[in-house]
Structure 1
Amino acid sequence: MLTVYGDIKSGNCYKVKLVLSLLGIPHHWHDMDILQGDTQDDWYLQKHPFGKIPLIETANGQILSESNAIMGYLAENSALIPNDPFDKAKMYQWMFFEQYSHEPYIAVARFIQYYLGMPEDRLDEYKAIHKKGYKALDLMELTLKNSAFLVGEQFTLADIALFAYTHVAHQGGFDLKNYPSIKQWLTNVEQQSGFVGMIA
């Protein structure tokens, strides 16, 4: 059986958890606690020398890391990946956007505020990343004004990737009251068959 190593509070791990649930893939979830240093234990570093999560281990011992790569592997030949080449490229465009223009700001702000309790030595960083985080939300709002999901009307891995940290953006101090299209999109994602919450 597939084994998943992840922290249920992590947005990147939640992406994998959500894909597994949506597709009904049997697996064993091995819970890790980042803040307790579980990813630095010797046994885990033998699997992943960088000590990062999420990580999956297949039944025959193959190891795969990086949340978006794991999602792509799990969702191969499913409806979560468009058949049309251009739509598939748009899905990947949003997934790269999530990693480089969204997660570094939305997720890091959440970590500073929600997990670290806003330490004084990170206040300047927090303020700076807020501006960039809102810029990412602005682009999502502009796109979602015209479609139910990020790649038109098809629910894809792009939506899962960006849902993970957007739905808890408030924990990083981001106010979504001026983003009605994003709020509707969050509801659209939550209504998908097989949806499961982050902490469920």
Structure 2
Amino acid sequence: MKVYGDSISGNCLKVKWTAELLGRPFEWIETDITKGESRTSAFLAINPAGQVPTVVFDDGRTLAQSNAIMLHLAEGSALIPADAYDRARMLEWMFWEQYSHEPYVAVARFKVVYEGLPVADLEPRLIERSHAAFVRLETGLADRPYLVGDHLSLADVALVAYTRVAHEAGFDLAQYPRVKTWVTRVEEALGL
């Protein structure tokens, strides 16, 4: 399979990490979003939405959206809880990640690291919502080592992607000790 992704994107990296963790062979095709490489006619023929990550399977079928790709790759593995309720909780975290975490933490990081915006000039709502996301993670980790029970799941892979680099946008995870410990634990599990 071919994975079109940009190495600066946590959404792309979480697909890469999932494939690596599962031992799924793939070819990584670096697709620089800052240079518009996901907007070329050749790329749009693969994914009309013009977004990375995008996977092209050996049979020619394509799949986009990081969490959908992760779910497909991990089908039948220990990264997806066998218990229906725990699986739903994993999905709850993954949906929350795309709606209430990534749009704030990742955007703040992109503005600082790739657009050169000083941290002091970040929009207050980005800072406020990012901290709210870290508080939610801190609370979610109050009585467990991973987001869903005692084992690494796709929820952890999805949420560690941008949390682990939040400091690049000026966020100090020392304020969130359970999150900081969890990041280290997940990074170790992923071999990062």
TM-score by shorter chain over 0.5: yes
Deviation (angstroms), 1:41: 1.1
Q: Distance in 1 between matches of 2:69 and 2:99?
A: 17
Residues 1:18 and 2:13 are matched in the alignment = no
Residue aligning to 1:88 = 87
Secondary structure at 1:184's aligned position in 2? helix
1:123 alignment partner, one of 108, 112, 121: 121
Secondary structure at 2:4's aligned position in 1? strand
Secondary structure at 1:191's aligned position in 2? helix
Structure 1 residues 81-131: Cα deviation after superposition (integer angstroms, max 9, x where no partner): 0000000000000001100000000000001111101179x936x221110
Matched-pair identity in %: 46
- Give 1:66-77 correspondences, 5 Å limit: 66-77=65-76
Residues 1:183 and 2:180 are matched in the alignment = yes
Letter in 1 for 2:125: A
Q: Distance in 1 between matches of 2:60 and 2:169?
A: 37
Structure 1 residues 28-66: Cα deviation after superposition (integer angstroms, max 9, x where no partner): 111111101111111101111111000000101001000
Deviation (angstroms), 1:157: 0.2
Deviation (angstroms), 1:167: 0.2
Q: Distance in 1 between matches of 2:117 and 2:144?
A: 36
Bigger drift between 68-77 and 169-178 goes to: 169-178
Q: Distance in 2 between matches of 1:132 and 1:43?
A: 36
Residue aligning to 1:147 = 144
Q: How many residues align?
A: 192
Secondary structure at 2:33's aligned position in 1? coil
Could you tell me the TM-score, scaled by structure 2's length?
0.96
Letter in 2 for 1:95: M
Stretches of structure 2 lacking an aligned partner (at least 5 in a row): none
Give structure 1 regions of 4+ aligned residues with deviation exceeding 2 angstroms: none
Residue aligning to 1:78 = 77
Residue aligning to 1:159 = 156
- Tell me: higher relative CO, structure 1 or 2? Use CA pairs within 8 A at least 6 residues apart: 1
Stretches of structure 1 lacking an aligned partner (at least 5 in a row): none
Residue aligning to 2:45 = 46
Residue aligning to 2:106 = 107
Secondary structure at 2:173's aligned position in 1? coil
Given that 1:55 and 1:66 are in contact with CA atoms closer than 8 Å, whether structure 2 keeps it comes out as yes
1:171 alignment partner, one of 168, 172, 184: 168
Q: Distance in 2 between matches of 1:13 and 1:104?
A: 15
Letter in 1 for 2:177: P
Letter in 2 for 1:113: V
Residue aligning to 1:8 = 7
